[in-house]
Amino acid sequence: MALEQELRRAIEEGADGRLKELIQEPHPADLARVFPSLKLAQQVKILRLMDPERAAQVLVELGREQVPPLVEGLGPLRIADILATLPTDDAVDLLGDLPREQKDRLLGLMAAADAKEVRELLEYPQDTAGGIMTTEFVAISERLTAEEAIRVLRETAPDAETVYYVYVVNERGQLVGVLSLRELILAAPGMLVGDIMRRRVISVNVMADQEEVARVVAKYDLLAVPVVDDNQELLGIVTVDDVLDVIKEEAAEDFLRISAIDVRGDDVTAPPWRRAMHRLPWLVAFLLGEMMAATVIKGFAGTLEAATVLAFFITAIAGGAGNAGTQSLAVVVRGLATGELNAREILRVVWRETRVGLLVGLGSGLTLAFVALVWQGWPLLGLVVGGALAASILVATMLGSMIPVVMARLGFDPALASGPFITTLTDVASMLVYFSLATLTILHLR
């Protein structure tokens, strides 16, 4: 906040010297946070006062809607300088979100070799290893000596984003080993790289999903993972900072998706009507699903007329079953994501939740039966609402576990089986159970 005010004051007072000082200190990520509250002209002014490398780092941190007007505002010469300082993966991220025409224009401003590399990277889908990798890595031949390798590193390293792992390739460019910088430095100078390297290298295919890449990096505690094509040829690396972003992005996606929210549509910066337009189709679809529950209740209109008291418990039974179903859904979607549950073991997953559903159904059913009995003083009613809730919860946990695991088995994202979807289904099921039970007992025994 303080930074924002100081920046604004310096701009308004035309104190360029002071402004230049102010923007030297903070981390680019901190400056980027302030940007949305500044006017475009002010943003452009700040970026122009920075050296290109720093400006590039700020641009990379900005949201995708913020970049295009800034690119226009900065002008081609300045942008060319900025692009030249970016590692390829960051350049790809920056360009990937721009409108086609602007993207082509910027590619034209880049050095031919860089532009070619970026163009190739842009070909990979954004959510694959190829889409998030950088081509700036360090690879040496297995035939070099340790001493030669260190010299090569000294010469090429300033260009590489990370030198924490040194990858070793054979004469065909295939990944054959890996070394740490430390292992190389501690080795006897005359030893061959091929003899000191570790041969077991964990790598990912260039078309692997970014979630898979993140899983590998997290599982093996890597700082970077090499990316290879089907021929084992080394194409790039994915670094842990990009993996952190992927993990956060995927977690946000699952989190919203399970509440039937589209993460791309519900950007906090989007205007209300656009966010509403992303939610409405889901809500209307669930509403039409609820009309099935309405049809069920209408089917039992006779029972309801004979005992209006049944209507009092509709939300308790539907809500209770919906809550239990949502819980099972969350546990199963999470378990599938972490790999603790296996989509191929559908029956096992459903059975695990069904047993829990039986127990919580019994507990909830007894509670509701008791409350209804005390409240209305009618034992049969207690039996009906309690029994209906217990049975509905059982059905709900089965649906809440079966639907995501079947979706995962069919290759869909299990989180698409959202809580509202499960709730709508359980509403239909619980009304059917409730009014059937009521008709069988109350109507006939009364």
Of the ranges 38-46, 113-121, 226-234, 272-280, which one interacts with a second copy (CB under 8 A)? 272-280
Q: Of 288, 347, 348, 412, which lies in the binding site for a second copy, with binding defined by CB under 8 A?
A: 288
- Strand ranges of the sheet holding 224-228, from the earlier edge strand across to the other edge: 204-205, 224-228, 234-239
Alpha carbon separation from 108 to 111, 159, 278, 381 (Å, rounded): 8, 21, 36, 77
Residue 385's nearest CA partner among 368, 405, 360 is 368
Q: Determine, following the binding rule CB under 8 A, whether residue 258 of this chain makes contact with a second copy.
A: yes
Give 397's contacts (C-beta < 8 A, 6+ positions apart): 324, 325, 327, 328, 353, 354, 356, 357, 360, 361
Q: Determine, following the binding rule CB under 8 A, whether residue 189 of this chain makes contact with a second copy.
A: no
Q: Determine, following the binding rule CB under 8 A, whether residue 223 of this chain makes contact with a second copy.
A: yes
Binding to a second copy, residues 146-175 (CB under 8 A): 154, 157, 163-164
Of the ranges 24-32, 39-47, 105-113, 188-196, which one interacts with a second copy (CB under 8 A)? 24-32
Beta pairing, strands 224-228 & 204-205: parallel
Binding to a second copy, residues 193-212 (CB under 8 A): 200, 202
Q: Determine, following the binding rule CB under 8 A, whether residue 420 of this chain makes contact with a second copy.
A: yes
Give 246's contacts (C-beta < 8 A, 6+ positions apart): 132, 210, 211, 213, 214
Between 102 and 259, name the residue whose CB sits nearer to a second copy: 259
Q: Determine, following the binding rule CB under 8 A, whether residue 440 of this chain makes contact with a second copy.
A: no
Q: Determine, following the binding rule CB under 8 A, whether residue 15 of this chain makes contact with a second copy.
A: no
Distance CA 153, CA 169 (A): 14
Binding to a second copy, residues 317-356 (CB under 8 A): 318-320, 322-324, 326-327, 329-331, 333-335, 338, 340-341, 352, 355-356
Q: Of 40, 111, 252, 440, which lies in the binding site for a second copy, with binding defined by CB under 8 A?
A: 252
Q: Of 65, 69, 312, 440, which lies in the binding site for a second copy, with binding defined by CB under 8 A?
A: 312
Q: Determine, following the binding rule CB under 8 A, whether residue 243 of this chain makes contact with a second copy.
A: yes
Between 13 and 53, name the residue whose CB sits nearer to a second copy: 53
Binding to a second copy, residues 356-395 (CB under 8 A): 356, 359-360, 363-364, 367-368, 371, 375, 389, 393
Q: Determine, following the binding rule CB under 8 A, whether residue 27 of this chain makes contact with a second copy.
A: yes
Q: Determine, following the binding rule CB under 8 A, whether residue 255 of this chain makes contact with a second copy.
A: yes
Q: In a 10 Å sphere around its CB, with 0-12 CB exposed, 13-18 middle and 19+ buried, how is residue 195 labelled?
A: exposed
Q: Of 41, 111, 301, 347, which lies in the binding site for a second copy, with binding defined by CB under 8 A?
A: 301
Instruction: Report the sign of the C-alpha dihedral through residues 322, 325, 331, 334, in that order.
Output: negative
Size of the site for a second copy (CB under 8 A): 102
Do the Cβ atoms of 246 and 210 come closer than 8 Å?
yes
Q: Determine, following the binding rule CB under 8 A, whether residue 126 of this chain makes contact with a second copy.
A: no
Q: Determine, following the binding rule CB under 8 A, whether residue 40 of this chain makes contact with a second copy.
A: no
